[in-house]
C-alpha cells in the first residue's frame, strides 16, 4: 500500500529524543516494601535493612511515574510530549491505541538514595498494517533510565541503569464501537459478530454439547477424574480413554473479572466474566448474564443457560451463567 503523503512529517520524528522526565522520589525502602507487599514478593534482598536493601529490578518504571494526576511530573521535567507521533496519527483518523508489548532491560540493581530520570526516543514507526482490530501503525518508543550522579557522589556522572521498549498499535478500528449519538445521519453500525471459539478434535464434544443444550465435562474412563478444559490425556493417570458427564449446570462464582476497557465489539461493557465452579468440581470461564457488573459476588450460586450467537462462520451456542433465584432471595 502506498504511503500517505502526510506520513512524511510523522516519519521525520523517528529517532527524535525527548527530554528528561524526573522521578518525584528517590529510590526508597518504604516504596520498595509496599510494592513487594502488593506484588506478593517475599525476598529478604528487598526488605532486610540490615543487609542493605536493593530495589526489585521490575520496579524500574515505578520511580518515574507521574502519580494519579495525568502529566504531573516534577519541576525540571521536560514539557515535550514524547507521544507526539501518536497525537499526529490520531489527527489523521487513527484514534484507537492498544499496547502490544514492552521489553525491559536492567543494567544493575538500584539502592535507596538513587535519583532516577528517563529520556524517550521515538524508535520506529512500522508500515501501515491491517489487523483484526483495524488498520494502523505499530509505534515503538524507547525509554532509557539513568541514575543521577550527584545523588551517589557529588559531581559524579549519570549512569544508565535500564531501558524499556514500549510498542503500541495506533489504529482506526475495523468496527466502530459506538455510533455518534448526535449524528442522526450516520449509517447504522454493522453488527459485529462473535469470534468463534477455537475448536479441535479434543474440544469438539464440548461445543456439540452446548448446541444440544448440554454442559459436558470430560471424564477419564480409567480413573473417573473429571477435567476441564478438555485435553487428550488424563492428568491423574495418563489414560487416553475418556467419555463425558453431563453437568447439572449448577455452580458458584469462584472468581470473576469485569472488563471495562478496551471496549471490544461485540461485547457490552462493562462485561462481567466468571470463573464458575460447577457442583461436579471442575471450573470453566464464562460470561455472566442477568446481573449488574457491580453486583457479581464470589460464592454467588449460578445456573447455566445456552445462548445462540452469530459468528462470522455460522451460529454457535455458548454456555453462560445467570445468578439463581436463591441468590436474589439471599441478597
Cell numbers standing for residue 317: 451456542
CB of 234 to Zn ion, least distance (A): 3
CB of 276 to Zn ion, least distance (A): 23
Cβ proximity to Zn ion: between 6 and 240 the closer is 240
CB of 328 to Zn ion, least distance (A): 39
Query: Which residue in 237, 298, 325, 330 binds Zn ion (CB under 5 A)?
Result: 237
Q: Residues in contact with Zn ion, total (CB under 5 A)? A: 8
CB of 231 to Zn ion, least distance (A): 11
296: contact with Zn ion by CB under 5 A: no
Radius of gyration of the chain (CA): 26
E-assigned strand segments in 175-313: 216-220, 226-227, 242-246, 250-259, 271-278, 283-287, 301-311
Cβ proximity to Zn ion: between 113 and 232 the closer is 232
Q: What are phi and psi of 161, to 5 degrees?
A: -115, -10
Among 222, 24, 47, 36, smallest CA distance to 118 is for 24
Give me the count of residues in the chain. 331
Cβ proximity to Zn ion: between 180 and 223 the closer is 223
In the chain, count of helices (H) and strands (E)?
Answer: 7, 14
45: contact with Zn ion by CB under 5 A: no
Q: Determine how many CB atoms are found less than 10 A away from the CB of residue 113.
A: 12
239: contact with Zn ion by CB under 5 A: yes
Hey, which residues between 197 and 236 contact Zn ion (CB under 5 A)? 220, 222-223, 225, 234, 236
Cβ proximity to Zn ion: between 199 and 237 the closer is 237
Cβ proximity to Zn ion: between 238 and 326 the closer is 238
CB of 230 to Zn ion, least distance (A): 14
Long-range contacts: 305-312, Cβ < 8 Å, 24+?
305/249, 306/210, 306/213, 309/193, 309/194, 310/191, 310/193, 310/194, 311/193, 311/194, 311/195, 311/196, 312/193, 312/195, 312/196
Cβ proximity to Zn ion: between 151 and 233 the closer is 233
Residues within the interface to Zn ion (CB under 5 A): 220, 222-223, 225, 234, 236-237, 239
Amino acid at each position: 500500500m502506498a504511503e500517505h503523503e502526510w506520513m512524511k512529517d510523522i516519519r521525520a520524528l523517528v529517532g527524535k529524543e525527548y527530554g528528561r522526565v524526573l522521578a518525584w522520589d528517590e529510590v526508597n525502602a518504604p516504596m520498595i516494601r509496599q510494592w513487594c507487599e502488593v506484588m506478593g514478593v517475599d525476598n529478604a534482598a528487598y526488605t532486610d535493612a540490615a543487609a542493605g536493601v536493593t530495589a526489585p529490578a521490575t520496579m524500574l518504571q515505578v520511580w518515574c511515574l507521574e502519580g494519579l494526576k495525568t502529566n504531573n511530573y516534577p519541576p525540571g521535567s521536560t514539557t515535550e510530549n514524547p507521544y507526539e507521533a501518536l497525537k499526529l496519527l490520531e489527527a489523521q483518523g487513527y484514534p484507537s491505541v492498544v499496547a502490544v508489548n514492552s521489553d525491559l532491560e536492567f543494567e544493575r540493581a538500584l539502592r535507596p538514595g538513587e535519583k532516577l530520570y528517563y529520556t524517550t526516543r521515538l524508535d520506529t514507526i512500522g508500515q501501515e498494517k491491517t489487523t483484526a482490530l483495524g488498520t494502523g501503525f505499530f509505534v515503538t518508543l524507547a525509554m532509557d533510565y539513568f541514575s543521577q550522579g550527584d545523588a551517589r557522589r557529588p559531581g559524579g556522572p549519570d549512569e544508565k541503569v535500564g531501558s524499556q521498549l514500549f510498542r503500541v498499535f495506533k489504529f482506526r478500528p475495523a468496527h466502530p464501537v459506538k455510533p455518534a449519538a448526535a449524528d442522526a445521519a450516520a449509517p447504522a453500525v454493522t453488527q459485529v459478530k462473535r469470534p468463534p471459539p477455537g475448536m479441535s478434535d479434543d474440544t469438539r464434544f464440548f461445543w456439540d454439547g452446548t448446541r444440544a443444550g448440554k454442559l459436558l465435562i470430560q471424564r477419564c474412563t480409567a480413573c473417573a477424574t473429571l477435567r476441564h478444559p478438555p485435553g487428550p490425556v488424563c492428568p491423574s493417570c495418563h489414560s487416553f480413554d475418556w467419555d463425558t458427564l453431563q453437568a447439572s449446570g449448577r455452580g458458584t462464582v469462584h472468581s470473576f473479572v469485569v472488563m471495562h476497557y478496551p471496549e471490544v465489539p461485540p461485547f457490552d461493557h462493562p462485561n462481567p466474566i466468571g470463573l464458575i465452579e460447577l457442583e461436579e468440581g471442575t471450573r470453566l470461564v464464562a460470561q455472566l448474564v442477568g446481573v449488574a457488573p457491580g453486583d457479581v459476588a464470589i460464592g454467588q450460586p449460578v445456573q447455566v443457560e445456552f445462548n445462540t450467537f452469530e459468528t462470522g462462520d455460522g451460529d454457535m451456542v455458548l454456555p453462560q451463567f445467570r445468578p439463581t433465584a436463591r441468590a436474589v432471595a439471599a441478597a
